[in-house]
Each structure stands twice: as C-alpha cells, then as structure tokens.
A and B are shown apart, each in its own frame.
Chain A
Amino acid sequence: MAGIRQILQRRKAADSIRRITRTMEMVSTAKYRTYHNRRDAVADYENALSQIGYLLVTSQKPVDHPLLKHNDANRSAVLAVGSARGLCGAYNNHILHLLEVHIKNASRFGRDLDIYATESRLLNLLNYRGIKPKKIYPNIDKSLEGFGIDEITDTFIEQYIAGKIDTFDIVYMQYFSASNQNVQTMTILPLTELIDNLTTSLTAIWPYDISFEEFYLSPDAFEVIKGLARIIVRASIEFCFMDAALSEHLARMVAMRSATENAENMIKQLTNEYNSARQSQITGDLLDIVGGTGALT
C-alpha cells in the first residue's frame, strides 16, 4: 500500500484536475448557450432565404444561371471543419472518418478531390494520415466573428462559375439536439442541391398560391439570382460553422463532465485509501505503545 504522504499528493493532484475540468465544463456550457441563442436567431433568416430559394428552383421556365447548372469538371472540393481546440472526445476522429470516405469514393470513381480545412485540431490527424489540405481557413470561432466566411464564399462561387469544380461540400458536425449530433456532408454547390437540402428541413416550404413567374423582379432575373445565390451560399456556410461550433462546445462539455466525475470518483477512492492507511498507522503505533508498556511492567 502506498504511503500516506503519496496518497495525499495523488488526492491533491486529482482535486486540481477536478477543479480544472469543472471550470472548463462551465466555460463550454456558457459558450454553448451563446451559440445556441445565435443559431436560433439565424434559423429565421435561413428559413426566409430557403423559401426564396425554393421559389427560384421551382420556376416553370428554368432560370439560366451558372450556379444552377451542373458542371462536368471531374473535380470536387471538400471543406473539413474540425474543432478549434482539443479535449472534445472523438469529435475530430468522426470528421476524419467521413473525409476518408470522400477520399475513397473519389479514388474509386477516378475523380480529383481538393481538400480544404479550417485551422483546427483536425490538422494534426490529417498530417498523421498524410493528407495535405490545399488551403487552411481561419478557425470556427474566428470565422463566426466575421473572418474568412466571405473569402470561402467568393472563392468557391468563382471556382464553380469558372467550371473548375463540380461540387463543393462541407464535412462538419451537424447539431440536431443536445443529445444528438452527427457528422454530415452538406452540399453547398451546385445551388439546386443546397436549396434541396435546405427545403427538406423547412416545415412550410412555400405556403402561398403564387409562383416565381408572377413576381416582378428588380433588377432582372440573372442579377437577382446572382445576389441571392451569394447570400444563400454565405448563410449556409455560416450555419454549418455555427452547428460545428455548437457541437464542439457540447462535446467538450460532455467530455469535461465525465472527466470531473472520474476525478471525483478517484478522490473518493483515494480518501478511503488514505483513511485506511492512516488507521493502520494509528493501530501500529498503538500496538507499539501497548507492546512497550507491557515490556516495562
């Protein structure tokens, strides 16, 4: 059995860990709540845009715009959104597994695949597997403060219009509820697929008896779609990033809670060990005293 001093040292260390993980859990909880409120607010905006998008793609005469057409470049782009910081369980491993599925599929069908990533802990895993991202964008927290999302939007819209890529996907952790987050691939381009994805999550797609043809457009249809497409793409990328941030903080919250519980269990166990070691020492000391007294009398 370890000595009393060693047990005390270990208990002190476990207590320090418990305090740190408890604090980290509280920080993640606060951030999770902030992002959750922001996500709720953005959902209305996303729904309104999806309704216009739905109107656009259901027009009787198909609208002629490069973002609504399917390209044939045999090249795809995937943006992997990892966690900005560590200590969030298997979050990045899940993203990596789905990314590897994309890589395998691309190689099976003889397609070129450009991998992009955000500045995250995922980069260590990608480096370990020998996957080199073509470009690294600012991390999720920075992106949601307004850095990088415009650049991502413009870059991939330009590439798609120039016919350099067929699809642009984002691999991220989608937030469904506090108990359910899953790694998903969201197709951002072509726009028709994005609108299809968005409208499936709507409760009322277009509840009015009025079609796209009946609207007076100002400016003309091409310019309206150009402006609208950029807004829809940008908002969708931001929504993916928000989901990823929300899932990251939730994953860290869960990981830190279980770490705190483990530390508490360890403290309990060490306290029992300490008490039993202390009692043995007292018993030993008493026996020594009794033995010594017996020898004297």
Chain B
Amino acid sequence: MSDFTKPLKCVIISPAGKLLDCSAVGVTFIAHDGSVGVLSNHMPMLCELGLGIMEVELVSTAPKTTPKKFALIDGGFALIHSNMINIIANDAVPGWDLKKEKIDILIESGKKKIKGVPETSEIYTHQTKKNALLEKLVAIAG
C-alpha cells in the first residue's frame, strides 16, 4: 500500500513570481469543477483551476500540529506528477504576510473593475465572488 504520509513538493507560481516552494503533507485546491485534494503518490494530472482558496498542509516539525498555508487562486493550471504539485496561477494572493491595507486596495480595485458592469454578467459574478473570498482569506489566514 502506498505511503500517504510521505511529503510532496508544492510550488505556487503566478505572474508576480514564485510565491511558495515548500514540502507539504497534503494540498487542497479549487479546480474548474470543484475541490481537489492531493496527497503523496497522486496520479499525474493536468487540471484547469477555478477561483477559490487553496490550502497547503505543511510538514510539521512539532508533534500533533499541522501548520497550514492559504492562498487565493484565480484561474490557471495545476500540474501534478512525481510527488510534486505545481500551481501555475493567473492571479494569486498569498494568505501569509497578509496586510489588511493591501487586501482593501485589492477589493477596491475589484469594485472599480465592475463599476457599470451589469449584475447578470459573468465578470460581475466572478469579481464579487473574488472580493468575498479575499475577505474570507483575511478571516482564515489573518
């Protein structure tokens, strides 16, 4: 039987650069069609990403603790192979080193983007959901 406790390498890359490169026990991300959980020895997979908060369970140094990292991912691709998960995101907001002012600026710019856009449009729904998720990220990771 496979050893699921073996760590896997998790890398998050966005146009702003490499945001995370660490060893993880498990990773949960939002794909185009729902949530996907990845442990070690996962099958090779190339998957389109959706909008959501991903969770990285880090390898713990202290017993009975599972430190976690969160990041908001907006589109892109996840490439899983050889105990390695590469998240190539179109846009990503890391939940670590979060600054409330930065999140406020992001939410404000998001609101500006949808100013005058009909509420039924896809862009409006997407941006509104993204703003709500940014607030949720602050609550979870902040």
Contact = CB atoms under 8 A, between A and B. Distances in A.
Contact of B48 (A45, A49, A218): A218
Interface string B46-88: 1110000000000000000000000000001101011000101
B79 A52 contact: yes
Interface of B: 13-18, 31-33, 43-48, 76-77, 79, 81-82, 86, 88, 90
Given A215-B44, A224-B48, A41 B82 contact: no
A48 B48 contact: no
Contacts of B90: 231
B45 A45 contact: no
A228 interface: yes
Contact of A219 (B14, B48, B88): B48
Given A48-B86, A52-B88, A223-B48, A218 B17 contact: no
Contacts of A64: none
A52 B48 CA distance: 12
30 contacts: A41-B16, A41-B17, A41-B18, A42-B15, A44-B18, A45-B13, A45-B14, A45-B17, A45-B88, A48-B13, A48-B79, A49-B88, A52-B46, A52-B77, A52-B79, A52-B88, A208-B82, A210-B81, A214-B44, A215-B44, A215-B81, A216-B44, A216-B45, A217-B46, A218-B32, A218-B45, A218-B46, A218-B47, A231-B77, A235-B15
Nearest to A40: B17
Contact of B82 (A48, A49, A210, A223): A210
Main secondary structure of the interface of A (DSSP, over half): helix
A48 B12 CA distance: 10
B77 A227 contact: yes
Given A41-B16, A219-B33, A210 B44 contact: yes
Contacts of A231: 76-77, 88, 90
B15 A219 contact: no
Nearest to B49: A227
Most chain B CB neighbours (cut-off 10 Å) among A208, A214, A227: A227
A68 to B, nearest CB: 16
A55 B86 CA distance: 14
Given A42-B15, A45-B15, A45-B17, A215 B82 contact: no
A169 B82 CA distance: 36
A210 B88 CA distance: 19
Contacts of A214: 44
